[in-house]
Chains A and B, each alone.
Chain A
Amino acid sequence: MQPAAATLFAKLWEPHVVTSRPDGRTLLFIDRHLLHDGSFHAFARLREKGIPVAHAELCLATPDHYVPTDAGRSLAMVKDPTVLRVLRDFESNTAAAGVQAFTLGDARQGIVHVVGPEQGFTLPGVTLVCGDSHTSTHGALGALAFGIGASEVAHVLATQCLWQLPPRTMRVLIEGRLAPGVYAKDLALAFIRAIGTSGATGHVVEYAGDGVRGLTIEQRCTLCNMTIEAGAKAGFVGPDDVTFAYLEGRPLAPKGDAWKAAVAYWRTLVTEEGALFDREIALDAGKITPMVTWGTSPEQAIAIDGYVPDLRDARDDDERKGMASALAYMGLASGQPITDAAIDQVFIGSCTNSRIEDLRIVADVVRRIGGRARVPTLVSPGSGAVKRQAEAEGLAATFVAAGLEWREAGCSMCVGMNGETVAPQKRCVSTSNRNFAGRQGRDARTHLVSPATAAATAMLGRLVDVRTVL
């Protein structure tokens, strides 16, 4: 009998199994551990137990959630003593453990999910974890990457392993190409709308098909990043020549013979013909239009030229209740064109959309429309490296000339933990990943969009179909 055809997931999982028990629980070795400034709970726990960090050399740390993004920032300008303590703890915890950390003054500092791929720390075939749900991002390079809580961060620091139960598998087959003006973010929102925010709960998602092969690594990062918003544990794309070209020469990527051996191995990381998945879904990328969320859950998304949905169209009472509370929170009415909503501000950044390709798209839209931004707009690059690149390419100059505020790297207004928040009842069009109630600030209203749509909104002062300005 032929051996069963293996999924990419099985090839990512099995080499990491240290031991497994009859009840299915598996001790999984973790090759890569990313840490950020929210990791203090986990370090505190290790200290309590008197256990050292097992493998500091497999960790990389960068502060992102709590850092200010003001120009010329330093710890000295952090006024909130509790934020200052978090940032100081980050530096002392990582230093004491011997973990490489890109602290605030370091040119490599940035959002942990931008820094990992950019530095070549994220590689195909590795298991990678981080105490942040958007760790799914790293699956873009063919890693098995997932977010964990503080107790699990402590467990990985102490043992370099995690107890896991094998997840179910889902393949999302994407055919066709995205039309001009439509981006990976729109694809992700369309996918989440289609299956719902708990549609992939308990699953890992492999994105496959020509529609994914045609995406750059940064676009794949956006797609995998948002996979958690469908409830999935992880999302990934099998590594290919696009992946290898992206990684070669990056500071922490393998070199010389190690690189050649790695690529030879990575080429085997494909789902074999006939492999079975617990669930399969097909999407036609060519049919996707620019998307925007209207509610307080990423699944509450519509086409940019669409209307705020009618409560009568809800599937059931639960959905109707959720829609009604979302409409009230968002200050919108059923049936209104979403482009009628009065916009107060725009945020361009976050681990979803702050990479150099995103900023190139933003600059292109800004130049095409011309003039000055109509609403206050904040642009926060994903890392120091992205920032320098954007400045070298003249993108930053374009932003500044158009009146966009060009800032330093951090999570910033995606989650507002550093104090950069949206005021109550203000409406923010954002390239980030969550439109949850209170996410960007108490009673703040968030509309998730692609960087292109965000840029057009900034320049025209209202939500627009970016296809009309390209």
Chain B
Amino acid sequence: MQPFTQLTSDAVWLDMANADTDQIIPSRFMRTPRAQGYGGFLFHDLRFDAQGVPKVAFPLNAPAASEARIIVAGENFGCGSSREAAVYALADFGIRCLVAPSFGDIFRNNAFKNGILTIVLDKSEIEALRGASRQAGAGIRVDLAGQSIACGGFSARFEIEAFWKECLLAGADDIDLTMRDRGEIEAFFEQRMQACPWLVPGR
């Protein structure tokens, strides 16, 4: 996994609440092997009409959007289906950081697992960020170690669980990390199955 330390980028502003993962990636694209790239599927049905023609008004179709690494969105971003493909679509489009007043729980886990930082700011902070971004005409600066997000005259601290912060900073694959605890896990398993024999399916 690619580590996340600092990032400076323009943002795409998605002015919608409850952007569910069915909209982030419609289900019909999820059977595509990841190697083929998921970036083209991101918000597909909002980005393209039924003939595949880009809808110019949709923010991700703005010429600058392809360079943006940050999306700022409304509350409850990524609610709904657990499909990690929604995160693949964001990652393959080039997004490394999401800012919103709240996120769907499973989506947020999926994002972290793929090296995408989610930042929770309240609505007033997001409005201030938007104002500063318009005025400064400069990129948004995100510093994970310092837990800060800034742009022009705007600066805010964000909260993130120590666990996720550490994983993102190191770009660590948590399967590899947990595999080191296999001995402890197997001892736990043996003990648990002995204490609760009914746990073995069909016993």
CB distance from A469 to the nearest CB of B (A): 33
Contacting residue for A197 out of B76, B81, B198, CB 8 A: B76
Q: Given that A201-B105, A434-B80, A438-B23 are known contacts, is A24 also in contact with B161, CB under 8 Å in the complex?
A: yes
A318 within 8 A of B: yes
Contacting residue for A133 out of B82, B102, B185, CB 8 A: B82
CB distance from A129 to the nearest CB of B (A): 10
Contacts of A148 in B (CB 8 A): 82, 106, 109
A151 and B200 within 8 A (CB): no
A198 and B175 within 8 A (CB): no
CB distance from A397 to the nearest CB of B (A): 33
A158 to B175, CA, bound (A): 7
Q: Mark A19-46, 1 if CB is under 8 A from B, else 0.
A: 1010111010101100000100100100
B106 and A18 within 8 A (CB): no
B178 within 8 A of A: yes
Q: Mark A370-413, 1 if CB is under 8 A from B, else 0.
A: 00000000000000000000000000000000000000000000
CB distance from A57 to the nearest CB of B (A): 7
B181 and A82 within 8 A (CB): no
Contacts of A23 in B (CB 8 A): 161-163
A343 within 8 A of B: no
A177 within 8 A of B: no
B98 within 8 A of A: no
A233 to B79, CA, bound (A): 11
Smallest CB gap from A60: residue in B: B201
Q: Given that A198-B79, A258-B203 are known contacts, is A231 also in contact with B105, CB under 8 Å in the complex?
A: yes
A24 to B201, CA, bound (A): 31
Contacts of B79 in A (CB 8 A): 197-198, 231
Q: Given that A231-B105, A438-B45, A439-B22 are known contacts, is A149 also in contact with B200, CB under 8 Å in the complex?
A: no
B185 and A159 within 8 A (CB): yes
A85 and B31 within 8 A (CB): yes
A25 and B161 within 8 A (CB): yes
B184 and A417 within 8 A (CB): no
Segment at the A interface, from B12-20, B58-66, B134-142, B145-153: B12-20
Q: Given that A51-B175, A150-B84, A438-B45 are known contacts, is A25 also in contact with B28, CB under 8 Å in the complex?
A: no
Q: Mark A145-160, 1 if CB is under 8 A from B, else 0.
A: 0011111101100111
B32 within 8 A of A: yes
Contacting residue for B182 out of A41, A126, A159, A297, CB 8 A: A159
B30 and A198 within 8 A (CB): no
A247-289 residues at the B interface, CB under 8 angstroms: 251-252, 254-255, 258-259, 261-262, 265
A229 to B15, CA, bound (A): 21
A139 within 8 A of B: no
A426 within 8 A of B: no
Contacts of B104 in A (CB 8 A): 198, 201, 231
A417 and B175 within 8 A (CB): no
Contacts of B175 in A (CB 8 A): 49, 51, 154-155, 158-159
Contacts of A154 in B (CB 8 A): 175
B178 and A159 within 8 A (CB): yes
B99-125 residues at the A interface, CB under 8 angstroms: 102-107, 109-110, 113-114, 123
CB distance from A103 to the nearest CB of B (A): 18
A27 and B181 within 8 A (CB): yes
Contacting residue for A417 out of B30, B113, B162, CB 8 A: B30
A443 to B161, CA, bound (A): 38
B28 and A416 within 8 A (CB): yes
B192 within 8 A of A: yes
Smallest CB gap from A18: residue in B: B188
Contacts of B196 in A (CB 8 A): 261-262, 265
A32 to B201, CA, bound (A): 9
Contacts of B194 in A (CB 8 A): none
B84 and A41 within 8 A (CB): yes
CB distance from B44 to the nearest CB of A (A): 9
B31 and A255 within 8 A (CB): no
B38-73 residues at the A interface, CB under 8 angstroms: 45, 50
Contacting residue for A442 out of B15, B50, B161, CB 8 A: B50
A148 to B104, CA, bound (A): 12
A177 to B79, CA, bound (A): 31
Contacts of B110 in A (CB 8 A): 149-152
Contacting residue for B109 out of A149, A321, A415, A416, CB 8 A: A149
Q: Given that A82-B32, A438-B23 are known contacts, is A158 also in contact with B178, CB under 8 Å in the complex?
A: yes
B185 and A160 within 8 A (CB): yes
B28 and A417 within 8 A (CB): yes
A418-470 residues at the B interface, CB under 8 angstroms: 424, 434, 436-439, 442-443
**Lowest 4 CB-CB distances: which A-B pairs, in order?**
A149-B110, A254-B198, A262-B198, A151-B113
12 new A-B contacts at CB < 8 Å, known A121-B201, A159-B182: A19-B181, A147-B82, A152-B113, A163-B163, A201-B102, A201-B104, A229-B80, A252-B202, A255-B203, A415-B81, A416-B27, A442-B50
Question: What residues make up the interface of B, taking CB atoms closer than 8 Å to A?
Answer: 15-18, 20, 22-23, 26-28, 30-32, 34, 45, 50, 74-76, 79-85, 87, 102-107, 109-110, 113-114, 123, 161-163, 174-176, 178-179, 181-182, 184-185, 188-189, 192, 196-203
Q: Can you report 6 residue pairs joining A to B where beta carbons are below 8 Å apart?
A: A38-B83, A54-B182, A417-B27, A436-B22, A437-B45, A439-B27
